[in-house]
Amino acid sequence: MRSLSLVAVIVFICMTATGLNLQTRKGNNLPLSEGRSFSKTEQGDETHLLPSATHRYRLDPSQSKFTAHALAGGLLWFKGQDHIIAIRDFTGEAQLTAGSINPASLQINAKAASMVETSDVFTEQEKQIINRELREIVLHPDQYPEIIFRSTSITGRTTSSNQYELKITGDLTLHGVTRQITIPTTVNLAGNGLRARGEFAIKRSDFKVKATSAMHGLIRVKDKVKFTYAIVGHERE
């Protein structure tokens, strides 16, 4: 009988210790081995662990700014100025899990024909020439109508409440060529909205995009093209 009592005491102590280990402050995240984030809720005398919500945001081009900066590498015509090409028409969706980041994803589909010169240093006539040759010589939107980015992994950290510093790695398809790139971004969540901003660069030669940007080669741009963006998204129901 004494040995059975000793066993009962040991079992009671183990159960008590396990219960203490599960206790946490209300609302804290509990990361599990699968990488999912869980939050604690209480109902009456019971405690439930629920997955943190994953939010989906539809990107809004009307409130966003997405531009490509092509740096002049030649001279002569159009004063040898850099080009600022706006991407006017794109769609996409971002997904982010509050508190734990992942699951997360990003997809953007941009219309190549919507890319137009916006730099104030050019006259309207000069812009028309540049835009025509962007279509006919550089981008070929009839053959390659879409520029597509799909994320394959997202890593980062929470820097403050509802703000994240992320690195988005994925496949960029441009001019019929697909290459992996990494996009650094700062994301802010407020209410039902998402705002992301940052910049990244690619090499034209990696995507077989010609250097000519206007007047059949009188202006040439460098191999490196820098993209800057300030994108707004609205949460989907």
Query: How confident is the model over 144-161, as pLDDT tens digits?
Result: 999 999 999 999 999 988
Most confident stretch, 8-17, 23-32, 76-85, 201-210: 201-210
Q: pLDDT category, 43, cuts 50, 70, 90?
A: very low
Q: pLDDT category, 222, cuts 50, 70, 90?
A: confident
Task: Report the predicted TM-score, pTM, of the whole model to 2 decimal places.
Answer: 0.73
- Give the residue with greater pLDDT, 134 vs 37: 134
- Give the residue with greater pLDDT, 83 vs 104: 104
Average pLDDT over residues 44-59: 65
Token digits of residue 173: 């398809």
- Give the residue with greater pLDDT, 221 vs 224: 224
pLDDT over 70 percentage in the chain:
70
Contact 117, 196 (CB under 8 A): no
Token digits of residue 2: 């004494």
Q: What is the DSSP string of the chain?
A: -HHHHHHHHHHHHHHHHHHHHH---TT-EEE-TTS-EEEEEEETTEEEEEEPPEEEEEE-GGG-EEEEEEEE-S-SGGGG--EEEEE--EEEEEEEETTTEEEEEEEEEEEGGGEEE--TTS-HHHHHHHHHHIIIIII-TTTS-EEEEEEEEEEEEEEETTEEEEEEEEEEEETTEEEEEEEEEEEEEETTEEEEEEEEEEEGGGGT--SEEEGGGTEEEEEEEEEEEEEEEEE--
> How far is 109 from 90, CA to CA, in rounded Å?
5
> How far is 212 from 128, CA to CA, in rounded Å?
15
Q: pLDDT category, 73, cuts 50, 70, 90?
A: low
Q: pLDDT category, 41, cuts 50, 70, 90?
A: very low
CA 14 to chain CA centroid, nearest Å: 46
Token digits of residue 54: 């994953």
Report residue 10: phi and psi, to 5°: -60, -45
pLDDT of residue 21: 42
Token digits of residue 28: 């804290």
Contact 158, 101 (CB under 8 A): yes
pLDDT of residue 16: 41
Report residue 28: phi and psi, to 5°: -70, 150
Strands 115-117 and 177-190: unpaired
